């Protein structure tokens, strides 16, 4: 049985080693930053997680999840995203409110509850922020998404997810008239300050580079399986 804290470490480690592909390991400071604790605290926990065979780790080395650790992390992430979906779909929460409550709900221990909730929601594949929900086996759909800031002027794309899950950012996204599955066209990218002009539903908006870094999109060419020389390799 894992404690809430242990679960949070595993979930965070999983996110750090799966978001940016290629990166399979994390560091003490990085983990501390994301968990909102001090590196010293993380260091103590690393010893415990290693002892429980949930991570691979040597003194002064990098941290990687073991198979069991990854499985446990996936389970927490699955619960988090299912609960977010429940709150959003069934209880009329807005997308900027669900995360905070799901942070608590993800730690409820009951296999039956997870299964029943999944069924009740009709086996959703994505949460309100467009993040993939791992299924009962821990598998999830991979999508070749890029950030809005990686798009070229003149190209069209569809918003599929957000990177930043904080309430202020999510509210700002709504304000700009954007949302999951919205189509948009990149009109221009200003060379001086990288301000990006986009058109959504006929309305033109200007967004910053910082904003665009946190919006995930799929480009129209990719969707149509056309090779897209700009950002897909």
Tell me which residues touch its own copies (CB under 8 A). 87, 90-93, 97, 100-101, 104-105, 108-110, 112-113, 116-117, 120
When CB distances are held under 5 to 8 angstroms depending on the partner's kind, the choice from Mn ion, DNA, its own copies, none that residue 117 binds is its own copies
Instruction: Compute the least distance from the CB of residue 49 to its own copies, in Å.
Output: 23
Residues 165, 19: Cα–Cα separation, whole Å: 14
User: Can you read off the two tokens belonging to residue 218?
Assistant: 């799929």
Tell me which residues touch DNA (CB under 7 A). 3-6, 27-30, 36-41, 43-48, 59-62
Q: Is 66 exposed, middle or buried (0-12, 13-18, 19+ CB in 10 A)?
A: middle
Smaller CB distance to Mn ion: residue 135 or 156? 135
| Torsion angle (degrees, nearest 10) of CA 106, 112, 113, 115 | 90
Number of residues in the chain = 233
User: Can you read off the two tokens belonging to residue 43?
Assistant: 């260091």
Instruction: Compute the least distance from the CB of residue 110 to DNA, in Å.
Output: 19
Smaller CB distance to Mn ion: residue 20 or 193? 20
Cβ neighbours for 112, distance < 8 A, ≥ 6 positions apart: none
Single residue of 6, 8, 31, 117 touching Mn ion by CB under 5 A: 8
Smaller CB distance to its own copies: residue 91 or 153? 91
Q: Is 214 in the site for Mn ion (CB under 5 A)?
A: no
Residues 205, 158: Cα–Cα separation, whole Å: 16
Across 195-206, b (16+ Cβ under 10 Å) vs e yields ebebebeeeebe
Instruction: Compute the least distance from the CB of residue 35 to DNA, in Å.
Output: 7
User: Can you read off the two tokens belonging to residue 2?
Assistant: 């894992």
Smaller CB distance to its own copies: residue 121 or 195? 121
Residue 55: its H or E element: strand 55-56
Smaller CB distance to Mn ion: residue 133 or 228? 133
User: Can you read off the two tokens belonging to residue 13?
Assistant: 């480690």
Q: Which residue is nearest to Mn ion (CB)?
A: 99
Residues 218, 183: Cα–Cα separation, whole Å: 10
Single residue of 99, 126, 132, 134 touching Mn ion by CB under 5 A: 99
Q: Is 78 in the site for Mn ion (CB under 5 A)?
A: no
Give me Rg for the CA atoms of the chain: 19
Instruction: Compute the least distance from the CB of residue 29 to DNA, in Å.
Output: 3
Smaller CB distance to its own copies: residue 114 or 195? 114
Residues that bind Mn ion (CB under 5 A): 8, 99, 103, 165
């Amino acid at each position: 049985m894992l404690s809430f804290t242990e679960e949070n470490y595993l979930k965070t480690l999983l996110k750090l080693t799966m978001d940016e592909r290629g990166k399979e390991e994390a560091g003490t400071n990085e983990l501390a930053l994301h968990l909102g604790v001090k590196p010293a605290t993380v260091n103590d926990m690393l010893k415990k997680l290693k002892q429980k065979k949930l991570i691979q780790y040597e003194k002064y080395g990098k941290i990687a999840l073991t198979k069991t650790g990854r499985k446990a992390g996936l389970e927490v992430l699955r619960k988090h995203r299912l609960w977010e979906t429940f709150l959003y779909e069934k209880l009329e929460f807005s997308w900027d409110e669900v995360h905070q409550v799901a942070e608590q709900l993800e730690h409820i221990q009951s296999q039956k509850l997870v299964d029943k909730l999944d069924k009740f929601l009709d086996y959703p594949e994505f949460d309100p922020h467009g993040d993939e929900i791992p299924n009962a086996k821990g598998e999830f759909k991979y999508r070749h998404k890029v950030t809005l800031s990686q798009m070229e002027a003149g190209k069209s794309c569809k918003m599929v997810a957000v990177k930043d899950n904080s309430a202020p950012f999510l509210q700002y996204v709504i304000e700009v008239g954007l949302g999951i599955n919205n189509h948009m066209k990149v009109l221009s990218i200003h060379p001086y300050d990288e301000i990006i002009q986009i058109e959504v539903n006929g309305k033109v908006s200007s967004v910053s580079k910082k904003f665009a870094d946190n919006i995930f999109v799929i480009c129209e060419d990719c969707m149509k399986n056309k090779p897209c020389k700009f950002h897909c390799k």
